[in-house]
Each structure stands twice: as structure tokens, then as C-alpha cells.
Amino acid sequence: MVATPDIVLRARLLREQIAHHDQRYYELDAPEISDADYDALVRQLQRLEGEHPELVAGSPTLRVGGAATAAFAPVEHRVPMTSLDNAMDESELGAWSERVAKGLAGAPAHYVCELKIDGLAISLRYEGGVLVQAATRGDGRVGEDVTANVATIKDIPKTLSGSHVPDVVEVRGEVYMPLASFRSLNERVTAGIEIEADGKPRKELFVNPRNAAAGSLRQKTPAITAQRDLGFWSYQLGEVVGGPVFERHSETLGFIRAIGLPANPEIVVVDSLEAAAAFCRQWQERRHDLGYEIDGAVVKVDDLAQRELLGFTSRAPRWAIAYKFPPEERNTILRDIQVSIGRTGRATPFAVLKPVFVGGSTVSMATLHNEDQVRLKDVRPGDTVIVRKAGDVIPEVVGPVLSLRPEGCPPWQFPTTCPCPLESTLQRAEGESDTRCVEPGCPFQRDQRIVYFTSRGAMDIEGLGERTVFLFSDAGLVSDPADIYSLTAEQLLRLEGFAKVSAEKLVASIAASRDRPLPRLLTALGIKHLGPSAAEALAKAFGTLDSIMSAGEADLATTEGVGGVIAGSIRRWFDQPQNREMVGKLRAAGVDFGRVEVSRLPQLLAGKAVVVTGALEGFTRETAEAAIKDRGGKSPGSVSAKTFALVVGEDPSANKVAKAQDLGIPVLDRDGFLELLETGALRGR
């Protein structure tokens, strides 16, 4: 079927859009749309070209990457650096596998499964074992010479090691910025100490690690690249002269490691598409366990002879596919910036967005953290902004797309009054980053204090979430956390949304919370700076809420893990009449003021920090940590030099395991953990 003028026009507009975004991404390191939105444009054009092959000539779907910039000398790749076709779900992965099987006439294939690092593709050329050139991918045929900058990356050796170094070897891989380095970089920007090539402090935060890595690698001053702490993973050989002959891709990866270059430790070889799909699913779930960002997985045919049979399209190998994970960043319109008031009066700006599907759900609001972050990110109502939602993390606005900012868009100003009906003045103490409403009667603070009191980490009252608290507050049924204990099923039945069963169930859940342990009650009071760990220490030291209430600041401060700041905050909280009145109401409601769960087990792990990662048979994460604490130990969420041991179950955090190995910290399996709980000692020591 011949393409109609409308279809021809649509294809031309798509080609122009893709060419524009290719330049923004590959040449300027300043993309205007997310990867997911770019992929959608390409797939639209591919669909039109599939239906109308006459439209294919000169299409960007035939090209790889973007043109090399004039800022660096051009480098012609002796072996082209191709791109990869994408699979957006398991059905597309299966369709690729069927094409592979057809191309191999049904012969079985093994697959190499790799992580798709979110960075910048680089080719390293070694002659006589010495690094002589490093080049970006560019358009796949011609890239940019970035040798001086690449030479500053610690992961990349200037001289190869081993006894079988080829006369010439090109190694392809990905330059990336570790997450810790990215956070540190933006901290330096915030502090005004990150200096640009012109000698002036950088004013804008970096949007994401990929763009930060690309911009760092393209610096004209290598000293700036050296400060950015970039990393590198190898994944492929290019030209090789005078080297060994390989039969499998997995062998080339072993060779790459043997000559001193890093290859990712998570690479596996599997014998079926089902196993490859399982690898993709596993890392989609665990993508945040790593110390760097990935945006998918790559599945490659392992046998090099089979690769020869399959060959290439105009832009990509037929023997490999990139399995793309659901996007965690999307672009949308920032409709407004508003401020919410928390239980301590903290005024937190948040973005009101044009709804966008990102990170597995539709997002219409996102955090902006505080006044300084809004100023640094310089986001303004009307902007096109980048929204990020990673896993269960609260969505946040990463930054604006400045090239799309409407003309005359004024900077946003932090409000001077609380949005509550009292309209009290907002205040920011000198030296603090937070702005607060200091009016004790602020109804927004009141409602959030009740929400916090009922939350899972505090009194854990099932069925009493934020919406229900607001419903009770609007109906005049609660004015502080203690009021929830006077609620009756009859009162709830008068409210919209409650039936007899749900009302009685909630009242029973509230009644059950009267017997929560003292540490939970202390946490639930919402005292500034007082978290669960300090609450647990205070409960063990003083035994009852009354003893804590009557203790002096100095006595409180001597408790391990408390100190002067927390002690002062506790003392000030209990000295306020309205708080003592609320505590009196809790007492009258029958809330237990003195239940401290004291372990009678031998304190075999006293003073020892044991970190748990992954699933252990017979334990939940909570019961494993409780077992450690019952024996006097601590179970922090991260590995440090002070960690006594790391307990590893199924699907552990690779980052925690790697850090433990780097620090020489013992790593225990389930049997080793059981022995540790029984004896307090490490197996065999």
C-alpha cells in the first residue's frame, strides 16, 4: 500500500524530531525528552516504515548514535560500533529468540546475559599493551578522541597485564558514574565548590549519572574529568591483531579480565531463553541494589560462529537484544508548586504535575525537598520537568528542561505564610535548610502528628491511614493522637465509607495498639530528632514513660545513642503543657506506659553490628534483625568498617556483598548465621 500524503508528512516529522533529539543526547549531552519517550518516537517511525518500506531511505532508524562533535578530533573505528535493538517486554524478547532460532535453522543457542549499564559507550585501543587511543561511539563509524580524559579513569589501565597481550586490541565498554560519585558531585555543586572549565562555580545540579558521566568525559580539561570519579565496565572486543582465537563471547570476557580490564561480575551464561528472561526479571527487581544505574539487560548469543551466521542489520547485530526496563524517568509539565506542612511544622514544597506514568505508576505529585533545592534546580510552574520514581522511593522532580522553558516564566518564590487557615508566618532559622510553621495550633501539623502516631513504625494501627485521619479530623472527632482511643463504632458508622464490619474492625485495631511496647509509644509521640533506635535505648534505660518524662536533660543525654541534641528535644517536648495534657489522655485511655520487651537470651552479640541482606529460610527481615538485637547486637541497614559480619540469603544486595568483601568483613550463609546466634562467634574461628 502506497503511503498517503498524511503518512509521508508524519514520517518526515518523526524523522526531524528524532534527529533533533539525537543531537541533544549524543552531541550536546542535554536531552529534552526521556529515553522512554525517545524510544516511543523511534518505534512509531519503525512501525510506519514497516508498513511503507519506501519511507525507509535515509531514515534515522538505520543510523547508530549521533555525529561526532567538532570539539574533539575524529576517530574512525576500524570495527564499527553498532547499537542494539530493543525488547520492551518478554514477548518481544521471545520474538527476537524466534528470529535467532530461524537464522540458526533451529540449532540450539547459549546466551550471555549482561547488565545494560546506563553510561557512555567507549572504545579503548591498546598497541603493544599500551593505551594509545580512546574514542566515543559517535555515529558508529566515526567517534571522538577522548584519550586524555579516559586516561584519568582509575578503572582503565594505561598498560595491559598478562602473558598473552595482543599486538593490537580494542576493548569496548561503558563509562559510567557511580551513584556515590554522583551524589558527591551534586553535594559539591550545592556547596558552591564544583568548579567548571571557566574557573567559575557550577550553579546547576546534574540531572542524572548518565548525563553527568557524558559531560565529564567531554571536558576540555582532563583535570575536571579526573575529579568526577568515573567508572568503566568492558563488554566486547573490537579489532584484535596477534591475539588468541576465541569460539565464544564468554571466552572473550575471561580474556578481557585476564589482561587487566574490568568486566561486570553479574554476567552469566545460560542455555535457554527462559533462563535469560529470568535474568532480566531478577535485575529489574534488583536494579537498585547496585552502586550504579542500569536501564536494562543485554542478551547475546554466546557462540561466535553462530553470530557470523546471524549477521547484522544496518544498525544492530541480529545476535543481541537490549531488554529495556520500565522507565524511571519521564518528562511532564510542572503545573504548580505548593507547600505541605508536616507534623513538626516543616514546610515542604512539592510539585503538582500533569499526570505521567513512570516507575510503574501514574504520578501527579512529586517532592521538591526544600527551598534551597527548588532554587538550585530552578524549576518553575510551566516548565517541562524530568520526574524520577525509582522503585518504592517517593517521586521527585530532578530538574527542568531549560531549552523548553516558556518565555517570561518567573522564578518560584517560597511563601511567607502557612497555607493553613491560621495563615501564620513561616520561619527559617539561621543555619537550617528547613522552613517551618511555628504555630502550635496549626491544623495541618495536628493532622500529620496523628498520622505519624498511627503509622507502621509507631503504634501500627491497621486501617488508620492518612485519608481516614483527615476524615476524622474534618468531622471534629480527633484533635490529637489520644483522641483516637475514644472513637466508637457508632461514631464511625455516621461517616461516609464505613460499614458495620469495617468500623468494628478499626475500633478493635485501635484497642489492640494500647499494648504496644514502650519504644513504639515513644517513637509515636513524634518528638523531634527521636527515632526508633534512641527510643529503644531510652526504654531500656528508664523502663517507663513516667521515668523518661521526669528525667533531667543531663540524665537523658547519658543514655547510649541519645546525646545532648535528642535529650534537649525530649525535655522541651515534655515541658510543653499541651503535650503533657495529651500524654494524660493516653494514660486515661489505658495505653501501656511501661511495657519494655527485655530479652532473656545471653547477650552474645553485645556491641556487634550484623547486617542482613537477602531472604533467609525460616526468617523474615524483621525476625532476623530481632534475633540479632535479642542477643545484644545491632542490625544496621548498611555495611561499614564497623560491621562485624554480613549475613547473606537469596537475592542479596550485590553492593553490600561487594563492600563487605572490599573491607574484609566475614560473609555468612544461613548456617553460619545460626551458629553466630547460638555461640556469638564466627564459624571456624
pLDDT digit string (tens) for 406-415? Answer: 999 999 999 9
Q: Angle at the Cα of 382 (from 377 to 383), degrees rounded to 5?
A: 40
Please determine, for residue 332, whether its predicted confidence score (pLDDT) is greater than 70: yes
Structure-model confidence comparison of residues 316 and 54, the more confident one = 316
Q: What is the mean pLDDT of residues 438-450?
A: 91
Q: Please give the grid coordinates belonging to residue 515.
A: 499494648
Catalytic positions, written as ranges: 116
Q: How far is residue 419 CA from its own chain's centroid?
A: 31
Q: What is the mean pLDDT of residues 317-330?
A: 92
Do residues 377 and 205 make contact, with C-beta atoms less than 8 angstroms apart?
yes
Q: What pLDDT is recorded for position 337?
A: 96
How many other β-carbons are positioned within 10 Å of the β-carbon of residue 499? Answer: 10
Please determine, for residue 254, whether its predicted confidence score (pLDDT) is greater than 60: yes
Nearest to 299 by CA among 259, 262, 335, 269: 269
* Least confident stretch, 2-6, 67-71, 109-113, 284-288: 67-71
Do residues 372 and 478 make contact, with C-beta atoms less than 8 angstroms apart?
no
Q: What is the tens place of the pLDDT at every residue in 589-606?
A: 999 998 666 667 888 888
Strand partners, 125: 133, 170
Q: What is the tens place of the pLDDT at every residue in 104-159?
A: 999 999 999 999 999 999 999 999 999 999 999 988 899 999 999 999 999 999 99
* Least confident stretch, 63-72, 102-111, 544-553, 653-662: 63-72
Q: What pLDDT is recorded for position 300?
A: 97
Q: How far is residue 437 CA from its own chain's centroid?
A: 31
SS (H, E, C) 186-253: HHHHHHCCCECCCCCECCCCCCCHHHHHHHHHCCCCHHHHHHCCCEEEEEEEEEEECCCCCCEHHHHH
Number of H helices, E strands in the chain: 24, 21
132 vs 484: CA distance, rounded Å? 72
Q: What is the tens place of the pLDDT at every residue in 228-249?
A: 999 999 999 999 999 999 999 9
Q: What pLDDT is recorded for position 12?
A: 85
Do residues 591 and 459 make contact, with C-beta atoms less than 8 angstroms apart?
no
Split at pLDDT 50, 70, 90, the class of 493 is: very high
647 vs 637: CA distance, rounded Å? 12
Q: How far is residue 163 CA from its own chain's centroid?
A: 41
Q: What pLDDT is recorded for position 14?
A: 85
566 vs 2: CA distance, rounded Å? 75
Q: What is the mean pLDDT of residues 416-429?
A: 91
Q: What pLDDT is recorded for position 17?
A: 86
Q: What is the tens place of the pLDDT at every residue in 86-99?
A: 998 999 999 999 99
Provide φ and ψ at 554, rounded to 5°.
-65, -40
Q: What pLDDT is recorded for position 10?
A: 83
Q: What is the tens place of the pLDDT at every residue in 538-576?
A: 998 899 999 999 999 999 999 988 999 999 999 999 999
Q: Angle at the Cα of 214 (from 210 to 216), degrees rounded to 5?
A: 115
Do residues 166 and 238 make contact, with C-beta atoms less than 8 angstroms apart?
no
Q: Of all residues in the chain, what percent carry a pLDDT higher than 90?
A: 58
Structure-model confidence comparison of residues 201 and 303, the more confident one = 303
Please determine, for residue 201, whether its predicted confidence score (pLDDT) is greater than 70: yes
393 vs 220: CA distance, rounded Å? 36
Q: What is the tens place of the pLDDT at every residue in 509-542?
A: 999 999 999 999 999 999 988 988 889 889 988 9
* Least confident stretch, 237-241, 345-349, 389-393, 613-617: 389-393
Please determine, for residue 69, whether its predicted confidence score (pLDDT) is greater than 70: no
DSSP state of 262: -
Please determine, for residue 84, whether its predicted confidence score (pLDDT) is greater than 90: yes
Q: Of all residues in the chain, what percent carry a pLDDT higher than 70?
A: 96
Please determine, for residue 328, whether its predicted confidence score (pLDDT) is greater than 90: no
The burial of 589, by beta-carbon neighbours within 10 Å (0-12 exposed, 13-18 middle, 19 or more buried), is given as middle
142 vs 97: CA distance, rounded Å? 31
Listed in sequence order, the residues at least 6 apart from 541 whose beta carbon sits closer than 8 Å to its beta carbon are: 559, 560
Beta strands 609-613; 361-367: pairing state: unpaired
498 vs 492: CA distance, rounded Å? 6
Q: What pLDDT is recorded for position 304?
A: 97
Beta strands 643-648; 609-613: pairing state: parallel
Q: What is the mean pLDDT of residues 659-663?
A: 82
Q: What pLDDT is recorded for position 1?
A: 63
Structure-model confidence comparison of residues 660 and 133, the more confident one = 133
On average, the pLDDT of the chain sits at: 89
Between 179-191 and 209-217, two packed helices, what is the crossing angle to 10 degrees?
80
Please give the domain boundaries of the chain with CATH numbers for all domains. Answer: 5-62 (1.10.287.610), 75-324 (3.30.470.30), 329-427 (2.40.50.140), 516-596 (1.10.150.20), 609-679 (3.40.50.10190)
